[in-house]
Amino acid sequence: MTPHYYTVTWDQLHRDARALAWRLMSLGPFDGIVAISRGGLIPAAIIARELDVRLVESVCIVTYQDEVRGEPVVTKPPAAAGDGTRFLIVDDLVDSGTTARVVRGLLPKAHFACVYAKPAGRPMIDSFVTEVSQDTWILFPWDTEPQFIEPLARRGAP
């Protein structure tokens, strides 16, 4: 399956994270947020601001190396969150659900929210803003940089 690429800008990520916070407002108040490192760190900061949550914990799980998925390894558990009661888990994306399954096991009573969701991972989370196809690879703003592209006419495109 050939992946499609979807580029998310800083502005779009900020708008989408705020939209997710809006959806989560009626579910709180939350005592804290657990950001899934690394992708969930920035959305969690935006959501923490919007929900006025001051306790932001992290859980560090290594699952991907570039675009290659491996077995998840917890390198830092979310000690301050207990079993997740009155906590919100935030990630940028749920893909296959592998990372989400691990975090659910650590924090079974937390509400799990992602900015973006793919169909295979959707059953593992509680809230999201935007769904993308399973074969879409999202290029987040921290993984890209803007650069000049030749106009089509100069590249010999039809």
Annotated catalytic residue, options 16, 95, 126, 135: 95
Residue 83 φ/ψ region, left for φ over 0, alpha for ψ in the -120 to 50 degree band, beta for the rest: alpha
Annotated catalytic residue, options 91, 126, 135, 143: 91
pLDDT over threshold 90, residue 155? no
DSSP 2: P
- Per the annotation, the verdict on 143 as an active-site residue is no
Q: Residue 154: what pLDDT?
A: 82
Q: Residue 20: what pLDDT?
A: 98
- Per the annotation, the verdict on 66 as an active-site residue is no
pTM: 0.87
Q: Residue 71: what pLDDT?
A: 85
Tens-digit pLDDT profile for residues 116-154: 999 999 999 999 999 999 999 999 999 888 888 888 888
Tens-digit pLDDT profile for residues 65-109: 666 667 889 999 999 999 999 999 999 999 999 999 999 999 999
Tens-digit pLDDT profile for residues 19-30: 999 999 999 899
Comparing CA positions, the residue from 39, 153, 19, 156 lying closest to residue 103 is 39
Q: Residue 1: what pLDDT?
A: 61
Q: Residue 17: what pLDDT?
A: 98
- Per the annotation, the verdict on 11 as an active-site residue is no
Distances (CA, A) of 91 to 8, 98, 116, 153: 15, 13, 8, 40
Instruction: For the chain, state the CA radius of gyration.
Output: 17
Q: Residue 146: what pLDDT?
A: 81
Annotated catalytic residue, options 92, 126, 135, 143: 92
Q: Residue 58: what pLDDT?
A: 97
Taken in order of first residue, the domains within the chain and their CATH numbers are 4-141 (3.40.50.2020)
75 φ/ψ angles, rounded to the nearest 5 degrees: -100, -15
Order of strands, sheet of 87-94, starting from the edge strand that comes earlier in the sequence? 68-76, 56-65, 32-37, 87-94, 111-117, 127-131
Residue 66 φ/ψ region, left for φ over 0, alpha for ψ in the -120 to 50 degree band, beta for the rest: left
Tens-digit pLDDT profile for residues 26-72: 998 999 999 999 999 999 999 999 999 999 999 999 876 666 667 88
Q: Residue 35: what pLDDT?
A: 98
